Every structure is written in C-alpha cells, then in structure tokens.
Amino acid sequence: MRMVFRWFGEGNDTVTLDQIRQIPGVEGIVWALHDVPAGEEWPMDRIIEVRDQANKYGLHLDVVESVNVHEDIKLGLPTRELYIQNYIRTIEKLAQVGVKVICYNFMPIFDWARTELHKEMEDGSTALFFEKAKINGVDPMELVLGITKNSALTMPGWEPERLVHLTSLFEAYSGVTVEHLWDNLAYFLEAVVPVAEKHGIRMAIHPDDPPWSIFGLPRIMTGAESIRRLLSLNDSPSNSVTLCSGSFGANPDNDLIAMIGEFHEQIPFAHIRNVKIFENGDFIETSHRTQDGSVNIAGVVRAYHEHGFTGYCRPDHGRHIWGEQCRPGYGLYDRALGIMYLWGVWDALEQAKAAIEKEAGRS
C-alpha cells in the first residue's frame, strides 16, 4: 500500500506540502490543475511547476485527480472530438513527469453531492452530510433557481463558476439515458485507453457519489455489476477503477470486501473513507475508525492486505475538528488521523503475517 495525500495546490489549500511530508508513510500528493476548465489541454509549464513544488519536499506526483471529462463527451456531442484530443494530449504530458494513475469520473453535471457542509456531530466536530429528502423529488429547474439565489441547498462537489450553466446542462441531458451514458463512456475509453496504456498510465474511474441517480440524471458507476460492465468495455490494464469505500459504501447493499476480492487487480487507486448511514438513507462522513461508521474500514484494509495490494491509497474526506478552517472534507487533522488508523491496521496485519511465516519456518 502506497500512501498519498490530496493537495489542491499553493494558494488553493490550507494544507502545505511541508505539513504533508510530516505525516508518517505519505510518499506523494494527489493533485490536479484545478483552475484549468474541464476539456482544456493542461499547459506543460504548469505541470512542471507542480512537479518541482512536490520534488522540493521529496513527494512524488504519481496520481492525478482529476483530469475532468467535458460534458460534451458525456453527452456524446460532435464537439467531443476536440475535447478527447485535448484529453489525449494531457495524458501524454502527464506521462512526461511520471504520472501513473489518472482518477476521473463520468458523473453528469454534478460530481460528489452533499446537502450540508458542516453538520454537527455529537462530539462537536462537523462533517459533510447527505439528506435524501432534500434531493429526492427536487425539480431540476427549481434546483437551479434555488442555488442561484444562494439557497441552503449546497452542492460542494460543484465548482461555483459552472453553476451559471446549470439550466443549459439540464436541458442537454433531457432524454439522455443510462445506456446513452454507457455508450459515451465506451467511446471515450476507446480513444484514450490505448494512449494511457502506451505511456504506462492507468485510467481509474471514480464511482458515482452517492451511487444512485440524483435530480433524475443517469448515473452508471454504482456497484459491482457496473464495474464488471466497465471492465468488459476494454480489457486493457489501463482501464481500471478507483475504489472509493465512502462512495460505494453509502449504499449498504455494496459488499466492499467482496468487491476488493473480485476486482483487486483492476484497482490501482483506493479512496478509504467511512460513512454512517441512517435508517432513512441519509449519511454523514465520520472518522476512519470502523466503530464510528457503517463501513468496515478494518475489513476493507484487511481485504487489500490479503490480496497483496501495492497500489496507491489516500484517506478520503475527513471531519472538521479542533476548529480547523479548511476546504469542506479536506482538513489536515482528521485525514492525518485517518492515515495513522489505516497504517495501524496494516502494520498489525503485517506483523501477524510475519509471525505466521516465522512459525511455519520452524515446523
């Protein structure tokens, strides 16, 4: 397991590279050029700038999250050809600085969606919260009006500068089905996967978050069956999955341990996050500790260990603790605590394995 840490860039993150390098076992950053609009080709000078910043602190930049996929690609519009070529050129540039994994998603309009940024928990910490009733049955056009009028309904997974395009995007997706989205994903992968494979890069799709339809939009990466379908589209090792325990884990029907067992060879990148699911389907993000949520994090780590996982792993969203002012879900403190919990489980498993091997050597 190779531990990495999400970093949003100088001037765009409350966490510094100097702080990241002090977290035990962290060897690299998970990064992106967040100011480059989706669909645009990434400038080489900016890529080199981030590489040099990371190198200064002994951190690699093997994992990119995300090179965002333009909506025209998801919609299958004729203009997708331009954006696919931009994507290919970006892959080629990232290969030049040693990138090994590109995490991306194929969620229409919204990336990860939550309804509250700072839901208070019993211990006084706050966390990202998803309230089903606030989204179920919401008319998309009412949503647009509500967000543009600064309503209490927030979409923290959506860049503010793109909110102005919501109306036209909802109109564009009218009539787009799950099958249309699968077809458009297949077309995209047919174009980019050979390029990624040539350069030793794995395209690792992130699951839909949450893993079900919101606002009537089609969503396709929701569980084990969708992973099987994804892998059937292209049998290249560069067609792979970012297995996010928080995203898939928001649906209790998803058996994460079984999924790791079935797909571990196609998982180059793991997000490990815990969520507590309530009886009505609401969920809140918790600490990484198994007992604090509904996801068996210790079991997830054990599954990776049993299958000899050598891919990249990062603690996903954390709580906001000790008064830290930070990007929602991305504070330093709770994610660092999460890393130490993950290493604690991993190290215990390593010691147990060593003890068994030692005993076997005596017999």
- How far lies 195's CA from each of 66, 88, 89, 184, in Å? 17, 7, 9, 18
Per the annotation, the verdict on 271 as an active-site residue is yes
Domain count across the chain = 1
Per the annotation, the verdict on 206 as an active-site residue is yes
What per-residue confidence (pLDDT) applies to 215? 85
Averaged pLDDT of the chain: 92
Catalytic residue among 13, 72, 316, 334: 316
DSSP 209-245: SSSS--TT------SHHHHHHHHHH--STTEEEEEEH
What per-residue confidence (pLDDT) applies to 169? 86
DSSP 267-297: -SEEEE--EEE-TTS-EEE--SSGGGSSS-H
* CATH assignment of the domain containing 331: 3.20.20.150
What per-residue confidence (pLDDT) applies to 166? 77
> Is residue 329 left, alpha or beta, with left meaning phi > 0 and alpha meaning psi from -120 to 50?
left
What per-residue confidence (pLDDT) applies to 158? 54
H or E element, residue 55 = helix 44-56
Per the annotation, the verdict on 264 as an active-site residue is no
Residue 331 has pLDDT above 60, yes or no: yes
Per the annotation, the verdict on 320 as an active-site residue is no
Average pLDDT over residues 114-122: 90
Per the annotation, the verdict on 187 as an active-site residue is no
Residue 91 has pLDDT above 90, yes or no: yes
28-32, 94-98, 196-200, 216-220: range with lowest mean pLDDT: 216-220
If pLDDT is split at 50, 70 and 90, which confidence band does 109 have?
A: confident
Catalytic residue among 70, 206, 288, 320: 206
Catalytic residue among 173, 304, 330, 341: 330
Retrieve residue 329's tokens.
């879900």
Catalytic residue among 70, 271, 288, 320: 271
Catalytic residue among 62, 208, 244, 320: 244
Domain span holding position 185: 2-362
Average pLDDT over residues 17-24: 98
Catalytic residue among 60, 70, 264, 317: 317
Residue 195 has pLDDT above 70, yes or no: yes
Per the annotation, the verdict on 316 as an active-site residue is yes
If pLDDT is split at 50, 70 and 90, which confidence band does 150 have?
A: very low
Task: Give the Cα separation of 79 and 86 in Å (integer).
Answer: 12
Task: Give the Cα separation of 232 and 227 in Å (integer).
Answer: 9
Residue 152 has pLDDT above 80, yes or no: no
If pLDDT is split at 50, 70 and 90, which confidence band does 112 have?
A: confident
